[in-house]
Structure 1
């Protein structure tokens, strides 16, 4: 049969609707099931079970797992499942410690995200067992006694649990023979409670608590009294007082005989270093008396000191308790900005030290030092105040070792100490002295005066006086021989050498000693080498020649080349006299006018011409032969020098020959000018 196009289109629409219908009508369903319907455990013990949830719907869904009991811990409380899938998860049941024995219903719920109002549930029965238990009873529940008497009661404890446990016993009144008992399972023990009867009516509550579980027990005893024939009460004792360590705590104790007969009571305390001013009281009925308890705190530790006072007789007793807070009121401190210093031997130094009362009360202190002196040795200070003292340390110039000083502070109730160190400096650093000279050696050919210039410097740290002395030929002097220098200052000292006319040729040693009043001494060695004009001994080393030029020289092989001049003793004497006169009258001689100077020059020229004419060539030749002969027969005196300066000195010697002649000519001019002025 042939189908038209409209019929075909309608059929296609119907097929599509049939295919889409299952999708549009998706269903959601699930099933929650616990693995057990019944479980049991003791309180605080964990029991694990499992649960399974299955997605019975046609689409994926997510489920939130919860319970109506706070004993349950769920391992996985959010679960997502595809259609037809299931998942098993764990949960733990732990009854509370105070859960009572019995049966409980626990419900587990799964809530799908697709429909929050939909709940899938399953329930189980959970039994809490009595794993720990205690039963406690007394041999009586009522006591009739007189006030002041003590009654004993037996307390029976039975462990109804499954394990051995230890129980602690407490009572609102009374004392147990033992307050801790260990009892095995299904076993009982007895403890004795002593109850002092102190009231007309009292309910005594006794408790026992396990140290390892929730097991507990309690019972009550009624104590009834008609009154007391003998009774005492400590009416007044301060519950807490504060005293300074070292002070004596004074406690007022008020006692009253609350009985109906006169009685004698004795007071005692458990405090150490304590005494009553009256240890025994006789009290009539209803009579009140006071006494004092004094407790020394000298040996007590800082903090709270608990004590008790007991007043009793043969028939009555009462005890009161108090606390003494012992605090530090007396403290002191030694305070110093510095505890170490250095000092020169023979000098003094000091430390400023503050004595500070850091306590709460006035105190008097004694201060002592193991070495040195103190500006104060006893000080009284108010609380929070201080005073500065000075510790002075004196040293000797012979001291070389460092010194440790222990400063101690003491009062009747406190003490402190501090150590100070004084380091000794090197003696030479403190009292240093140096001596230098313009020349250590002088080479002289003429009998005239020569001058060494020495510089004395105070290299120390203190002003010092110095004494200069000389050890040498009698024709040597030193000036000045005393001086005073401040630290870093210097001055010049002059050593004057003026050989006498009969001075023998040779090398003379001059020792200059500089000694300070601080104990420092230094010596300077000088050398004076003298040769007459006839023979010039070989000189080596550093010398100062007549024209004040200092140079290295070594002429031990050049004696023969030196130019010789005739010796004239009279001339030497005159030259010496002239030099002395120049030192005395030199300043006046320098004031001569220009005309005298011109005339001196003319006279000098005439003298030079006369001298040149008087020296014949033949005479010069004879002098040379004679000098050569003397040089060969008489060994030259030698002065040691370094080898490496020899060559250099020979070169300088050759250059100095023309200069020597000029020097001699200048000497003649000086002599002639001085003679003309005189």
Structure 2
């Protein structure tokens, strides 16, 4: 490649680099991170925007809630390393519920369109609030009173007077004066002389503000007391860990209403309390997920003013199973590399199950997976060249945890190679040259790895030494050559140390050599391939000149010799 082409490539690279740094990232810092604001008020923050990149940039500022968040200014232009603080105000909507909310502040780079965000927090506070609570349902026999406990709490921050009303029954009080955070307790008495099922509301409202709350209440007037309970089916068979269901029915055979509490010796009832009118039935579901193998009896009882029970049977078996598929294709990596094997673990059984995972080699992304029947999940086994050069088996085993079986496994093969290695020699190790003469060292680069590598060559030594070429690409198993040129300047004498360096992918080597100027080498250094040294230039006839004019002539002769050597090798 001639000098003109090299300059062209260098210019293109500089243009590309200048384009890459035309945009800069930004760092955002919000102070404070959290604040609070009442309805019809606001809170303020300060947002620091810093240009952390290498180039001047303009950042457009925005928020995730423009109706409530105001930013000033909304645009800032910053030099590299420069920062600016902008003001941020949060003014909550009047219909906002009380609570803590988050919002995003974003700075968008005008140069690149990249967006950089910071999160703020705000607690919205309401001055006026009230809560009313009462039992949701009560059942009474005909003519008897059901007494509800009604609690009214001022959850606002101002003292207020609240009215309390109900469209059914009789309240002990119809208004309460409460400080903020204070609670008052009232009673509501309800009765009926005939069978009734009625839903009604207890309403509390401020007499001076918007605060209001409503509690829905149910009242049942029933006849009383006799019962029976039935459970269907009478027997079932299911896999352990799977869910099976029974229907549980409570029947009120008396003349009074009864509230039954349901209990079971195994499983879970979706409802544990049933209010059953006279002559009626109420049903719920019993869900059983057996955790042990074998047969058992399950008893369900209903307890109210009267009591009854029923017993059914259940047989459970082991229905756990799995299938594991690890990538079968063998992998080959370098010692410094890592690779990930992907395996799919599938629950082929009948029940939700957790599977313990173990890898014979490498590290698992997760050691346990929980899968529903038919569900599968991919897991990863991370391996690296630290295992050592050679072939290694990568195995994965999945064990069902509930009963410790079944155990399933799958395996693949990983080969680790020595990809990046270099044998570097500099010949000769010691060279000599006279004043205003030159020496050439040969750098022999033998790629002993299994991958092609490109080495960047450099040197540590006087400025009148250089390495050519500065980059060499060597295929695996092959050898390439570079050179160190040392042109000894005028009036330079003594011993000079030069270090040659080669830096490639995952490998770095260096070698030191010596140059003796106007001195003899103690031991003759000969290269088996007739390496060029300072002695080569000793053969160039020196002009018979004296004084400064002679020295200039010698320097010109040495420069011509170096140029001839460069042209010879390139």
Fold agreement, TM-score > 0.5: no
Q: Which has the higher strand share?
A: 2
Tell me the TM-score normalized by structure 1: 0.34
Radius of gyration: which is bigger?
A: 1
Give the structure, 1 or 2, with the largest relative contact order (CA under 8 Å, sep 6 or more): 2
Tell me the TM-score normalized by structure 2: 0.40
Q: Which has the higher helix share?
A: 1
